[in-house]
A and B are shown apart, each in its own frame.
Chain A
Amino acid sequence: MVSKTTLEAIERYKEKSLPYILEIEGIRKEFPGVVALDDVQFRLRPGSVHALMGENGAGKSTLMKIIAGIYTPDRGTIRLRGEEVVLASPLDALEQGIAMIHQELALMDWMTVAENIWIRREPKNALGLIDHRKMTQMTRELFAQLRLKIDPTAQISTLTVAQRQMVEIAKAVSHRSQVLIMDEPTSAITETEVDHLFEIIRDLKARGVAIVYITHKMNELFEIADEFSVFRDGKYVGTHTSTDVTRDDIIRMMVGREITEMFPKEEAEIGDVIMSVENLSLPGTFHGITFDLRRGEILGLAGLVGSGRSNVAEALFGVTPATEGKIRIAGRDVTIASPADAMREGMALLTEDRKATGCFLPLTILENMQIAALHEGHVKLGCVDERGMTNLCLEMKDKLRIKTPNLDERIENLSGGNQQKVLIARWLLTKPKILILDEPTRGIDVGAKAEIHRLISRLAQQGVAVIMISSELPEVLGMSDRIMVMHEGHMTGILDRAEATQVKIMELAAR
């Protein structure tokens, strides 16, 4: 529930009749090594839907989290109802009238709908115990307002994703929130459910609620949004009304930058097909993935976050094997049921999340680097050939220019870029024929990035076939011989280096 001081602020606001309910000016937010937002502005009108647009990493989520009180900006001002405010925490934001509907819904599965909605402000009876009957009644009234048909006494775990979303929205409404943030609300629901959601959104608009809307779907933008603001590389690009621009204009605003000289793609001789993938599917995740990969080729894999790129990589490497389709390596049909199988076929996978699935944080650089290579030899008389292994790792350390005094350092003491190099070295020690790199330069400083790009190019020249997933379009365009684009689990096209442009990729990636 909004607090008392907020209620007073709302009264003052009503008298003023300002054009904007929320004004954000000069916001800057830095994370270690990255400037997520740089001098960003954003203005939200009451009773409107305002979409945030931009590529992955453009800064939309950071801005959204600042508005929701999850992050505190390093610099800049936030004016709510014409008065400067500090949003110290999500709870603070909620009390000031800003609610967020999370992409991963934040409801308690084992409690009822009513309990979830009224948590922390349950109606009490004379004994100070929770009055469940009254709570159910309050929920019914709330749902009637929103024309929702959900049983207040149902357990959340029995509801569909769409219904849960409606419960979250109802919860926000019950808080009398004036600003509602929706992060990709339609990403997991069916079309009829989308229609219902849009009805509710229009209803909320009519009551003067302002909605910040994040989506990757262009069509929705034109259907539901009144205005949109575009962000690129953490910077504000501009705000427009959705009626006076075309889809192409928006895409151009989203990508509009030149490819820098960052990506030293060196010509490599492209050899024969080493891997062909046919109709690879994992129901519910991706479908009908078909492509050939040649020696010396770099195949870029583009698509928005959640399009299934990483899932394809994990399926190829046997982390989560596909259930349908064929993989042929060097002309032979192979079954890859585990990473060990994939490694036997000469594959290597640098995973997307360095911390979660890459590094062994408590272990040393040496231990981290050698682990994959230990599967094939390097063992003498039952013991690991420490000296030989150390020499190989030292060689790798020099070759990849890993900055560390010695290999006995714990990997957690290295910077992100150096950790990434250690992980790349881990796979190079297995001498892979097919190297799958998932976001190889994410969260890495510029210098290390260029080194990793050069290394990838050089590996391709040595005949390694590379699949590179990246959310950075310039990187994909700069490095790849061909680019496969995915959208919602489907391949939407494969572009040749010559014909590929940022606009073409975005068109395939964000239908």
Chain B
Amino acid sequence: MDNVQIEPVKRQRRGLPQELNILMVLVAVALVFEILGWIFQGQSFLMNTRRLTIMILQVSVVGIIAIGVTQVIITGGIDLSSGSVVAMTAMITMSVAQSGDYARAMYPALTDLPVMVPLAVGLGLGLIAGMINGALIALTGIPPFIATLGMMVTARGIAKWYTKGQPISFPTDSFAAIGSGAWPVFIFLAVALIFHIALRYTRYGKFTYAIGANPQAARVSGINVQRHLIKVYAIAGLLAGLAGIVTAARAETAQAGMGMMYELDAIAAAVIGGTSLSGGRGRIFGTVIGTLILGLMMSGFTFLRVDAFYQEIVKGVIIVAAVVADTFRQNARSKKA
């Protein structure tokens, strides 16, 4: 009675095909610049440790944000607020990180505080901003685009209002140390490792993918979707706060214009790294590579003395191309299925 019809099961190669693709793009971009370097500049692009170090330092802050944004995108959402949250946390954190040697500190009574204070303030602020995003989205049901757009404008506004547009400077040495040397890179890589593990090996990660793949099914499977979404947005906010701290510490000053457009770079890094805007798919490893590709391009264009305007044009084209390629890949996949 059982039908003996054996259904054809399509075999898939195991491993990380998607990550391999993106890694190959990274290598290709590097090689193109290497070749162009020899042709136009008569020198190697890659064999220059200083250049590469600066490049990675430059993208570390965007990378930290991108790790949070990746998780948000995996749930099927978006976070436009991270760049502004960087500015807001940079300003407020710096105001409690000032050195007592500076006569015109913003809060003269709050100078020379132990480094833990500005750290806690910065992380706490980011966390709160993220939780507000998450609560708005999960509890009122408004689209993530709108909720985080609101936060983007509000947080930038707070950053400007806080000192009426004046920059804040002169941090304590211990605070400035957070951004000195290769520390931003270490922080970026540590954050990447933590959330790589969290996404792949913990319940938090499994639920994040499930919600992005099918929120209804996630709910029926017993996942508290609302609470989980708040968590994910809170983490994204926390990481934006961390990025704000690193930015301020590295520059040893904070300005309301910091982190401008970082949210878009972070989204671009995630998308180039293979995270699907329709949710359910994406890896931290891909985002790290995506971040490096963005950095490599910036650095490469500068090395080739390409006008900054062209850089932006090319970046825009590459972001769109990455999504188009991803869409084609998905369509091919569902046709096969």
Contacts and interface: CB of A to CB of B under 8 A. Distances in A.
Contacts of B9: 403-405, 409, 413-414
B11 interface: yes
B53 interface: no
Nearest to B203: A374
Interface in A391-409: 403-406, 408-409
A382 B201 CA distance: 8
A319 B220 CA distance: 7
Contact of A359 (B1, B217, B222, B334): B217
Given A361-B214, A384-B202, A408 B12 contact: yes
Given A361-B213, A362-B276, A386-B201, A426 B221 contact: yes
A409 B336 CA distance: 13
Interface string B154-178: 0000000000000000000000000
A270 B11 CA distance: 44
B280 A362 contact: yes
B2 interface: yes
B7 A403 contact: yes
A317 B216 CA distance: 14
Contact of A363 (B210, B219, B334, B337): B210
A450 interface: yes
Contacts of B276: 362
Nearest to A423: B217
B206 A383 contact: no
B10 interface: yes
Contacts of B334: 412
A17 interface: no
Interface in B191-234: 197, 201-203, 206-207, 209-210, 213-214, 216-224
A357 B222 CA distance: 12
A178 interface: no
Chain B interface residue number, banded: 35 or more
B5 interface: yes
A342 B1 CA distance: 37
B6 interface: yes
Given A361-B214, A362-B276, A451 B206 contact: no
- By secondary structure, the B interface counts as loop
B1 A450 contact: yes
Nearest to B10: A413
A360 interface: yes
A329 interface: no
Interface string A332-343: 000000111011
Interface stretch (A21-29, A191-199, A365-373, A498-506): A365-373
A367 B3 contact: no
Contacts of B11: 405
A113 B143 CA distance: 31
A257 interface: no
B54 to A, nearest CB: 36
Interface string A315-353: 001010000000000000000001110110000010100
A339 B220 contact: yes
B206 A371 contact: yes
B302 to A, nearest CB: 38
A319 B1 contact: no
A358 interface: yes
A445 interface: yes
Contacts of B210: 360, 363, 367, 371
Contacts of A382: 202
A266 to B, nearest CB: 16
Contact of B214 (A261, A359, A374, A426): A359
A129 interface: no
A403 B6 contact: yes
B220 A357 contact: yes
A445 B3 contact: yes
B281 interface: yes
Nearest to A350: B220
Contacts of B50: none
A307 B333 CA distance: 38
A383 B224 contact: no
Nearest to B1: A450
A412 B280 contact: no
B198 to A, nearest CB: 9
8 contacts: A339-B219, A356-B216, A357-B216, A358-B217, A367-B210, A374-B206, A412-B334, A447-B5
Interface of B: 1-3, 5-7, 9-12, 14, 197, 201-203, 206-207, 209-210, 213-214, 216-224, 276, 280-281, 333-334, 336-337
Sort A-B residue pairs by CB-CB distance and give the 6 closest, nearest first. Answer: A360-B213, A447-B3, A362-B280, A383-B201, A447-B2, A340-B222
